[in-house]
Structure 1
Amino acid sequence: MSANRTQPGAKRRKRRPDEAMEEALTAARQLLLAHGPAAVTLANVGREIGMSHTNVIHHFGSAAGLQSALMGSMIRDLTAALDTAVSQLQDDAGAIQPVIERVFAAFDEGGAGQLAAWIALSRDFEHLNPVRQAVLDLVAAVQEKMGDAAAARIRAVVYLIAICAFGDAVIGPPLREMLEQPGETGRALVAQLVPALVMQPG
């Protein structure tokens, strides 16, 4: 069903500016996950939360402003998920599997896969800058946990986890259906590969 045919959202009501912006960003994220980037428009968001097109413009300035705010919100969530993964690695000697689960969840349920695809298609890679330190912290945490493994190999392992989580979130469902694979196939394969890659000699 097209996002332009969604049922009207909440009735129009008064709300504080911060409440209105938070509701708008929540609706925009839901539209992105359900219908893709093209659905994230001022009109669609306004319809979902019972706010006029003019009021949405008032809060975000333009469609580009709304989209940029949504990207920023989702990037913060992804960074928080990576930070949690780092803490988990530091506290739990057997945390590689949970870390893989957390990264896959961030890209799938958290929407980071759709976000990354959107950023790639729009070429707005500067939006990824806030993630940089979280990714480097994750590399450092894996390095500390794995001891003698080479730093370059650890970076490659983190890349493998992230790129597989991204692909699984964006194109995984139809591919799994074609190949008659269960939903956890991607993360299970990565969980099998990572220890072997980290511990291989040379």
Structure 2
Amino acid sequence: MSIPDPDTAVRLTRRRRAPDEARKEALVSARRLLLESGPDAITLKAVGDEIGVTHANLIHHFGSAAGLQSALMESMVRDLIQALDAAVAHLRSDAGAPRALVDQVFDAFDEGGAGRLAAWIVMSGDLELLEPVRGAVHDLVEAIYQKFQAEGEQARHRITAAVLFIALSAFGDAVIGPPLRDMLGRDQDSARRMVARLLPTFLY
């Protein structure tokens, strides 16, 4: 009995698909590789093998591995903006305590890998990729400003400090939270509780 050639098995999994569908599948695969193994795992071969398309097909869509990585960054930035926008909408429609706000921002950085994305962008040095997030961050500041009925520029200064505090904490928790909590014997919710307890010192 002959042993199947792995390359043959890969070719047999290939199927025709619309260009948009192939591009979306490639980005989903690339995101999974990023979250599981880091940016070095995002290669045209790895993505092509996983979704069953040729190297030439991915070159056609993205130009190069760097092009694929750039497209993934842009896609994840859009997701982060949507998550922050959702936090703003929740904040404006819900009368929740500071913990609700903390959960929204932590979720924005944790779900979908936005925290790791931010670390990847910073390490790559291409900070311009984060520029589209600016508007979402400003909207978050404005929503907190309106919700807590703050008045004057001094209050706005406190709120920007609060957003910085929450975002930095959420980013750190998303990137290194699990192993650090394990080292310290803290539960999964501990960082969120800590930030929620300290947040009123900024807002009131």
> What are the ranges of 5 or more consecutive residues in structure 2 without an aligned counterpart?
1-9
Contact 2:73/2:129, CA 8 A, preserved across alignment: yes
Identity of aligned residues (%): 58
Shift of 1:93: 2.0
Q: Which position in structure 1 is the counterpart of 2:6?
A: none
1:29 equivalent in alignment to 2:34: no
Structure 1 residues 22-31 or 148-157, which shifts more? 148-157
Deviation per CA, 1:37-92, whole angstroms, max 9, x where unpaired? 11111111111111111111111111111111101110111000111111111111
- Which consecutive unaligned segments of at least 5 residues does structure 1 have? 1-7
TM superposition shift of 1:103: 1.7
Match 1:42 to one of 41, 44, 49: 44
Q: Say if 2:161 and 2:202, in contact at 8 Å, map to a contact too.
A: no
SS at match of 2:88: helix
Structure 2: how far apart are the matches of 1:20 and 1:34? 21
> Residue 150 of structure 2: which of 148, 151, 176 is its match?
148
Tell me the equivalent position of 1:160: 165
Q: Given that residues 23 and 49 in structure 1 are in contact (C-alpha distance below 8 angstroms), is that contact kept between their aligned partners in structure 2? A: yes
2:15 counterpart of 1:13: yes
Structure 1 contact 78–106 (Cα < 8 Å) conserved: yes
Which amino acid letter does the alignment assign opposite residue 183 of structure 1? Q
Q: How does 1:66-145 map to 2 (within 5 A)?
A: 66-94=68-96, 96-145=98-147
Q: Are residues 1:186 and 2:191 paired?
A: yes
Q: Is the 8 A contact 1:88 1:95 kept in 2?
A: no
Sort the Cα spacing of 1:61 and 1:90 in 2 relative to 1 into closer, same or farther, 3 A: same
Name the TM-score, length of structure 1 as normaliser.
0.90
1:175 is the counterpart of 2:180: yes
> Cα distance, 1:144 vs. partner?
0.7
> Size of the alignment, in residue pairs?
192
Q: Is the 8 A contact 1:89 1:141 kept in 2?
A: yes
Distance 2:133 2:30 in 1: 21
After TM superposition, what 4+ stretches of structure 1 lie above 2 angstroms from structure 2?
95-99
CA-to-partner distance for each residue in 1:117-164, whole Å, 9 max, x for gaps? 000100110111111000000000001111236111100100111110
Distance 2:68 2:44 in 1: 8
Instruction: Classify 1:9/1:158 alpha carbon distance in 2 versus 1 (closer, same or farther; 3 Å).
Output: farther
Q: CA RMSD in A?
A: 1.6
CA distance in 2, matches of 1:9, 1:114: 32
Name the CA distance, whole Å, in 2 between partners of 1:189 and 1:114: 22
| Residue identity matched to 2:187 | P
